[in-house]
Amino acid sequence: MRRVSDKLLTSQKSFVHAVDNISFIVNRGDILGLVGESGSGKSTTGRLCLKLIEPTSGKISFDGVELSKLCGEELRRFRRNMQMIFQDPTASLNPRIKIGEAIRHALSFQSIGTLSEQIERTQAMLERVGLKPWSNFYDRYPHQLSGGQRQRVIIARALVLNPKFIVADEPIAMVDVSVRAQILELMLELKREFDLTYLFITHDLAMANYVCHRIAIMYLGKIVETGPKEEVFKRPLHPYTLALLSSIPVPDPKAKLERIIPKGEIPSPINPPKGCRFHPRCPYAKPICSEREPQLEEIRPSHRAACFFPRS
């Protein structure tokens, strides 16, 4: 008799190339916006940068240190340099742990300072992210806070270790509209104060435009365009970027926009289209697009795109 696990293990394997052959650099002090739709591989990329998942192949270096060479205790200590802000502040806090303790645990896990020093640093951090006076918040449970306050706790927990690099994965997607700008401003303020570098993952181009210095647009596991924010938004090269830009709803009834909305939806990454992955939806596709895969090339100074027929 065959066991269920046998069947499961012997069934044909298919691989999802969630992130496929991408290269990018985040400079110190930069805010790189990683923009794309769901399933484009942007969250996977963020997790790879922190070695929360292992790449199948490829190399990731942080401050000159190759991450794949680190493991065990060494990796744990190294992680204090790089932290993550997660999307859902409710799901990323343990409902039974008081928020002050949740922040202090980050310090105690890295064995930084004595207990009283840890508590002191936590208190200062709470105040720094706007949860003041700290005495009103330290002993509260997550359910006693609003969504915006919880996201502040997540930010405090990431920053209490004094990291150099933060991966922020959709940090405002789950927060109320009127509070979003507040969280963004806080993140920008903290960036200046703590000399941080951000990888800002978002699906919201308008937010990315507001926050980031540089933008990388992802589609089906590939970076299709990257460059300084002004360039990418003013003079987009890749038809997919153009489509994304023209899809954003503009909060101004007088704004008349010419829309180029591609048909269909992002296909499954298990069996991506041959050639350029965007070609089945691209209004400008030519025969070559389904045959050969375009590489990311510099088309204008520091503005790159992976397209045979770049726009503008």
Residues found near other proteins in the complex (CB under 8 A): 37-38, 146-149, 176-182, 184-185, 203-207, 209-210, 233, 243-255, 259, 261-263, 265-266
Strand partners, 84: 167
Q: Would you say 82 and 165 are in contact if contact means Cβ atoms under 8 Å apart?
A: yes
Q: Which is nearer to other proteins, 32 or 207 (CB)?
A: 207
Q: Would you say 82 and 75 are in contact if contact means Cβ atoms under 8 Å apart?
A: no
Least distance between other proteins and beta carbon 147 (Å): 8
Least distance between other proteins and beta carbon 27 (Å): 23
Q: Which is nearer to other proteins, 251 or 301 (CB)?
A: 251
Regarding beta strands 222-228 and 303-305, do their DSSP bridges make them parallel or antiparallel, or are they unpaired? Answer: antiparallel
Q: Which is nearer to other proteins, 67 or 186 (CB)?
A: 186
Q: Which is nearer to other proteins, 83 or 202 (CB)?
A: 202
Regarding beta strands 214-219 and 31-35, do their DSSP bridges make them parallel or antiparallel, or are they unpaired? Answer: parallel
Strand partners, 83: 166
What angle do helix axes 99-109 and 147-159 make, rounded to 10 degrees?
A: 20
User: In sequence order, what E strands does the chain have?
Assistant: 31-35, 61-62, 65-66, 82-85, 165-169, 197-202, 214-219, 222-228, 297-300, 303-305
Q: Which residue has the tokens 């204008």?
A: 300
Q: Which is nearer to other proteins, 104 or 222 (CB)?
A: 222
Least distance between other proteins and beta carbon 176 (Å): 5
User: CA-CA distance, 115 to 109, in Å (whole number)?
Assistant: 12
Least distance between other proteins and beta carbon 116 (Å): 32
Q: Which is nearer to other proteins, 163 or 221 (CB)?
A: 221
Least distance between other proteins and beta carbon 74 (Å): 39
Least distance between other proteins and beta carbon 186 (Å): 10
Q: What tokens were used for 129?
A: 């992210």
